[in-house]
Structure formats: structure tokens, C-alpha cells
Amino acid sequence: MPPLMKTIFRWLTAGMLGFSAAVLAQPKAAEFPVRPIRLIVTVAPGGGADAMTRVAGRIMSERWGQSVVVDNRPGAGGVIATELVARAAPDGYTLLSLGDTLMLVGASKLVPFDVRKTFDPVVNLTSQPYILLVGLNLPAKNMKELIAYSVTQTLSYGSSGIGGIVHVGMERLAKVTGGKFLHVPYKGTAPSIIGVIGGEIQMVPGSSIAATAAIKTGKVRGLAAMGLTRIATLPDLPTVAEQGWPDYKLTNRYGLAAPAGTPRAILAALNRTVSDGMHAPQMVQRLAAEGAQAADRRSPEELKAEFAREYVEVEQQVRQLNLQLN
């Protein structure tokens, strides 16, 4: 396993300590689960989505005493994993772990079905800003220098795949700054960060957890926080907005979704259990230390309505950017 992935997995172990007793104290949901649960992840191991999925799996496993298997199915910008879960039985035993990727996969027409009708949101896990990472050999030390440099040389950036949140976010950044960027899709955040370290590409946005771990290795440089506010653990790192492009942001929410038609009682049990674990005091503190936060509590019904509203906005954004998706 590459050192970066080991660093993130160590974060997982540390992050889970201390709240298990509170989770285990709750009663088991009637008749669910009675066999292992599988969490399908759209990206390779080592990134923010993978990290949060493993946290959610540990919460469920300790809460219910059942095995939870994390199954990474990277590729095609999340399409492979999305189609796999879309075909699964709606019984709560196969769930899709995703960020805002599901919305983008649907809005970009990368799958032949309407994701709004094919999936039921289960629970949101965290909200995280991205950090723009660049290779140490790139001469730019801030965003203005980066954009000026891109006038003389097109800069390559990595993402977790075509049509994903990073792809869309970076194309939007190119549009608002006038930068010349070349998209190079990978199968996850960790492989793309390794690509920056190795000189295959020049920059990549990483979720706060994955990016902070990478910065600590000293092998990449953080150029900008991509949320609208600075990250508490990196207070000297200015945002893109502060560096000259107001209102620009690139953030992501990580969550779980189930095949449509999953019984409401099962959705509610999953939602309650995972939300309780994510809001345990020790977990909240650990997330804050990495620049992330537990997502606001929402019921599956509230999440579904929110998803439908935001889908329309994302669909419009994809059309405006005229992305090349094949």
C-alpha cells in the first residue's frame, strides 16, 4: 500500500477510537441487519470518500454486530459503482457510497437511467472543502502565479473521473480565472495525489482529509483552500476567493444511497445509526481537526427532496460548462 494511503488509514483508526461504547449502547434495529452489508465505493482506496465510507462501516458494524464490507469499484467517474448498486436488491444490504458524484453522474447523462428515481438517499456523512495541491516543482506559490503560469503552459490536473465533482469544479475554475487546464482522470483521489508527487500531473484538488495527510508528507504543496472559509488546521492557507475570485468554491458531501424501493424502516434505521456515530463528540472533534464536519442531520425523505432540488442546478451548471464527457 502506498505511504499516502497508509497515512489515511492511520487517520481512520485514530478517528474511530473513543465513541464505540456510545454507539453500542443503542438497541439493535428489529430484523435488520441479519447478514453482512456491502458498501460500494465509487473511487479507489485512500481518498475522502473511501475514508468516510470505512468510518460509516465501522459505525454500523459496532452498532449491530454485523460485518460491513467496503467494496471499492473505481472507474468511469463513478459509473461502474453506480450501475452496480442500481441493479442490487432494495433491501438495505447493498449501498452506494458517494459524494455529490451521484448527482453529477445523472446530470451529465453518464448513466442510462434517472438517478432521482433509481436511488433513495440514506444519510449524509460529512461536508468537506477541497484543497488545491500542486507539485513541488511547480514555480507558482499562489493562485495568481498559477493562473499566470498557465498562460505559458497548460497545466494538467487529476480527478476521480470524468463528470465527477472535481472535474466539474476545476473546469469551472478554469472558466472564472482564464486558466488553461488539462483534465487527467484517475480512479480516485489518492492515485491522483500520487500522480502529482510523481510528476505525472501538476495539480489536484483533494478533500480536506486526504489533502491534509498529503501536505504533512512534505511531498506536495497546498496552494489554496477551495471552500469559502479557511481550514482551521491550515490557517495560513488562503482560499481561492481570497486570492482574487470571490464566491468560487469546491466542496463535497459524502453520504450513502440505497436502491429505490428500500423499505422506509430500513432507511430510517441506517440513517439514525450512522448519524449518531458521526455526531459522537470524539468523531466531531476528529473531523474538525482535519477541516471537515459531520453533515447536518436529515431524514431520508428530507435528503430525497434536497437532492431533487439541487439536481436541477447541477444539470444547468453541466450544460453551461459544455464538458467533454467521452
Could you report the per-residue pLDDT of 236-278, keeping only the tens digit for each? 999 999 999 998 999 888 999 999 999 999 999 999 999 999 9
State the total domains in the chain: 2
Residues 149 and 105 in one domain: no
Domain CATH for 145 = 3.40.190.10
pLDDT (tens digit per residue) in 196-208: 999 999 999 998 8
Give the cell for residue 79: 459509473
Are 247 and 110 a contacting pair, CB within 8 Å? no
Q: Judge whether 231 lies within some domain.
A: no
The boundaries of the domain holding residue 137 are: 130-225
Share of the chain above pLDDT 70, in %: 90
Are residue 123 and residue 148 in the same domain, yes or no? no
Residue 18 has pLDDT above 50, yes or no: no
Same domain, 269 and 288: yes
d(CA 32, CA 201): 46
Structure pTM? 0.81
- Give yes or no: residues 79 and 190 share one domain: no
Is residue 234 in some structural domain?
no
Give domain status of residue 24, yes or no.
yes
pLDDT digit string, tens, across residues 42-84: 988 877 788 899 999 999 999 999 999 999 999 887 899 999 9
Q: Are residues 75 and 186 in the same domain?
A: no
124 and 194 part of one domain: no
Are 24 and 103 in the same domain? yes
Alpha-helix residue ranges (DSSP H) falling in 70-160? 79-86, 101-107, 115-118, 143-152
CB atoms within 10 A of CB 91: 15
**60 and 144 housed in the same domain:** no
* 243 domain-assigned: no
Angle, in degrees to the nearest 10, between helices 3-16 and 208-216: 120
Instruction: Indicate if 18 and 117 belong to the same structural domain.
Output: yes
pLDDT at site 209:
83
